[in-house]
């Protein structure tokens, strides 16, 4: 048996999430089924992180073990012949036995895209969260400084989170404007050593309220210090979120 690592991109719209579940089709389950079709043997897949239903990825990382004679770098091509069109393995390679997609990661980067227009663009509906009202990006940028650095983000995790430490080190939060298909977009790039359950969507939801003018920077600071999720704004919709990349340091 040898370990194979891979990068996978997917449109999460029609999946119940990345993690294998009993109540629907998952990205992990689809990958495992494709590997079994290629090798004839079931091989459990480990992914770097869990994404919810509707959330996308361009740089999700995974690993499995196999005794197949398929060359390491050819697995990506072989798997893509068996996968749903919404999932593509973009690269595969032989990895060190100790490499773990989740625990070897040193930084994860997400991008949230807001469709910012009076009328939603149907061509972007699957990959953006729509906000009708004007957004003040400068106010959002100023308020984002509250989240930078090492903090207890317990107020920014959703109900149902597993018990465990809630301190995270958020290293980047960049907000900017762009356009696609004739539509104004606001992009929020967030990087951290790790994220809590729905932490990115919860932070984006709060920043949207700042952009609308219903919250101030000081309000975000008080919410952080208050440690009470029930007093925070609702999370941003899942479809605007994409797991963009994962850094593995020396691997």
219 catalytically annotated: no
Q: Which tokens belong to 93?
A: 């390679």
Neighbours of 58 (CB within 10 A): 15
> Catalytic: which of 52, 136, 184, 228?
52
DSSP state of 133: S
Q: Which tokens belong to 119?
A: 């009328």
Catalytic residues: 52
């Amino acid at each position: 048996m040898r370990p194979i690592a891979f990068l996978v991109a997917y449109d999460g719209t029609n999946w119940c999430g990345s993690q294998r579940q009993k109540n629907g089709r998952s990205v992990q389950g689809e990958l495992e089924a494709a590997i079994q079709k290629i090798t004839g043997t079931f091989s459990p897949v480990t992914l770097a992180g869990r994404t919810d239903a509707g959330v996308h990825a361009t740089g999700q990382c995974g690993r499995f073990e196999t005794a197949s004679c398929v060359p390491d770098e050819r697995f990506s091509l072989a798997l893509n012949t068996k996968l749903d069109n919404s999932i593509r393995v973009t690269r595969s390679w032989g990895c060190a036995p100790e490499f773990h997609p989740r625990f070897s990661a040193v930084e994860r980067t997400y991008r949230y895209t807001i469709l910012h227009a009076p009328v939603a663009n149907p061509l972007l509906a699957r990959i953006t969260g729509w906000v009708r009202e004007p957004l003040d990006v400068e106010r959002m940028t100023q308020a984002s400084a509250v989240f930078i650095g090492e903090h207890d983000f317990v107020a920014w995790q959703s109900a149902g989170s597993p018990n465990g430490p809630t301190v995270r080190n958020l290293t980047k939060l960049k907000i900017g404007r762009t356009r696609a298909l004739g539509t104004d977009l606001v992009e929020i790039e967030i990087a951290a050593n790790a994220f809590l359950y729905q932490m990115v969507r919860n932070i984006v939801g709060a920043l949207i309220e700042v952009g609308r003018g219903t919250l101030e920077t000081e309000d975000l600071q008080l919410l952080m210090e208050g440690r009470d999720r029930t007093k925070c704004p609702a999370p941003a919709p899942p479809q605007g979120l994409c797991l963009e990349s994962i850094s593995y340091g020396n691997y």
